[in-house]
Structure 1
Amino acid sequence: MTTNAELVIDVQGLRRTYAGGFEAVRSVSFSVARGELFALLGTNGAGKTSTLELLEGLAVPSGGSVRVLGHDPHTERSAVRPRVGVMLQEGGFPSQLTVLETARMWAGCTSGARPVGEALELVGLGGRHSVRVMQLSGGERRRLDLAMAVLGRPEVLFLDEPTTGLDAEGRRETWELVRELREQGTTVLLTTHYLEEAEELADRLAIMHEGRIAAEGRVEEVVAAHPSRISFELPDGYHMGDLPALGQLGVTEHQLNGRTVQLSTPNLQRAATGLLVWAETAGVELRGLDVRSASLEEAFLHIAREAKESTATAKAATAKTATTKRDEVAAR
C-alpha cells in the first residue's frame, strides 16, 4: 500500500479545458510512488500529452490538483524543475549546433549536470559529437532528446513517446537505459503507443480514453481482467449446438460471424483442450484455429472498444433527450 510519504506524483481530479470549451482531461486521478515506472496509454487524442504537460508545469490545470515531489509544478516551478527531467515529443534544438554544442548549452542551464560526454554515451551518441542537429536521423534526434532529459540526474523523469522513430535495436537500448535509471531510484512517467514497451517497463499503467482513465493497475491486473480468445471456422455440416457445452469448457462469451466462431474464456488451457479433444474425437478439422492468451494488446483494444460504445450510447441518449424537449416545447 502506497502512503502519502512515498508519493512522488499525486494527481487528483485533474481537468484541462482548451479555448472553445474542448475538455482534453476530465477528472483524472492517479499517483506514482518513488522509484516506480508508471505508463499512460491511450489512442491519439486520449489526453496523454495534455495530462503530462500539466505534470511538467507547462500549463495551469482547469481544475483539480497536481503535486510533483510535494510541490505544484507550475506555481512552485523553482522547487520542482531542478529535480525533474523532461523529454517532450519533439525537442526543437537549434539545427545548426552540433550534438556536443547542444549538450554543452543544455548543461549550462541544468543544475548538477553530469558530464556531457557521459550523457551522450548513455544514449549511443558518443561518436556523433561533431554532427549538426539538422544532420541527425529522426531516431538520433530522439536519443539526443533523451540525453538532455537525463543530463541533470533527475529524481523524476517524464518521457513523452520516448522511442518514436527508433529502430528495434535503439528501442531495446532505450528500454535498458530506462531500467537502469529506475534501478538507481529515478521515478519515471511515460506515455507510449507501443504496448510492448509498457509491458516491458511499467510497474503500473493507466489506459486513457477521451480524457478519462478507463483502466488502471499493475500490468498483470489489467490483463487478467480481460479474457483470452479462441476463434475457428465451424466444420462443414456442423452447427453451434454440435460443439461441446461451452459453459463446461469455461467459455464466458461466444459469437458467431458467418461460419467463424469466437470464444472468450478466463481459462484458456481448459477451453482449448476441451475443444481440441472434441474435434479429435469427432474427426474434424478446426480450420483457421487462432488461440490467443490474454495480453495487454487485447485488454487495450477491449477497453477502447467498450469506452467508445459507452460514449456513443451516452451521446445518443443526450440527443434523444434534447429532441424530446424540443418536441415538448413545439407542442405547447
Structure 2
Amino acid sequence: MPGRIATLLALLLEQPISLYAAAVLRIGYGFLYFAFLLREFPHRDEIWGPGSPWTPTLARQLFDQTGWASILTLSDGRAYFEVCYAAAIVISALFMLGWRTRAVSALFAVVVSSFHARAIFMTDGGDNLILLMALYLVVTACGRRWSLDARRARLRASAGKTVRLPLDQASGELRRHLRDARLTVITVLHNCGMLVIAAQVCFLYGSAGLYKVQGASWGNGTALHYALNLDLFKPWPGLSAMADEHEVLIAVACYLTVLLQVAFPFVLFGRLKYPVLTMLLGMHMGIAVFLGLPLFSGAMIVADAVFLPDRFYRYLGQLCRGTTRRTGVREAGTRPPGEAALVPPQSEPVA
C-alpha cells in the first residue's frame, strides 16, 4: 500500500498526464463553439441579443434566483452586444489555436458561461457539457501540445533566445525553488483537471445508462422509434422514416446503447475501451444525423478523446507528417522538366 501511494503521488506531482488529449479537448471545444457562434450569427439577436423573447430583464431576474451571471446583461445596448459577440468569436478561435492559452482559456470559460446563462432555455444539451469542459480546461496545461504557444516555445528554444541574467548564489537558489514550485502547482492542477474531466464523462455515461434502464421504452426496445417520430428531432423526415422501418435494428440499437453506457466506466482500463469508443463514435454520429443534434454529438465525441493515450496521438501526428512529407516529395517529383524549383533543396529536419 505505501508503494502504491508513492506511485500515485509521483504520478500526480511529477509528470503532467494526457497532454495531447488536453490539446484535443482544447481544439475540439474551441472549434465547436466557434462554429456554433458562426452558425447562429444570423439569429444572434433572437437568441442572446436585446431583441430576444427572453429579455435581459428576465435573464437578470433569473440570475437573482440561480446565482448565475453573464457579461451580456451588463448593458442592453445593441452596440455592446455586437462587440461581445465579435469578441466571443475571436476568443473561441484563439482558444482553438492555443494562443496565450493560460489567459485565453479563462476568457473562453467566461464567454461560454455568459452565453449559456443568457439564454439557458433556448439551446440544446451540447452546451451544458461544453460549459463544464470549458471550466475544467482552465486549470489544465492544454496549450503545451499542438498550439501556437508550443510552436513559439520550440522556435525560442531552437533559436537559443533564453536570456540568463547574472545572479548571486542566493538569488539563483530562490528563483530555482520558485520555478520548481510553480511547475509542481501547474502539474498538480493539470492532472487533477484531467482526472475530473475523465470522471465527469464516466458519470455522464453511467447515469444516462442507469436512467435508461429504468425506462419501459428502452427495456422493450421502442425508445428510438419514438425519438425518430418526434417532429422536433426530424431534420430529414425521409431518412427518419426509412430508419424506422427496420424494427429489429431499432431494438438492437436501443439495447446496445444502454449496454455501452452502463459498461463504459468499467472498460476504461482494458483493451475493450477501444471497440467501445468506436461504437460510441458511431452512436453519436447517428444522433447528429438522425436527430439533428450536431453540437451535442460533437461535444460527446470530443469528450471521449480524453480516454485515448498520448501514444495514440503521437502516432497520428507522425502519420500526418509522413503523409505530408510524401505528398510534398511526390509533387516535387512531378514538376515538369526544365522548370526551376522555387525553393532550393533543404536538408531533412532533425527530429
Which category describes the TM-score, using the shorter chain as reference length?
A: under 0.3
TM-score (norm 2): 0.25
**Higher strand proportion (structure 1 or 2):** 1
Give the structure-1-normalised TM-score: 0.26
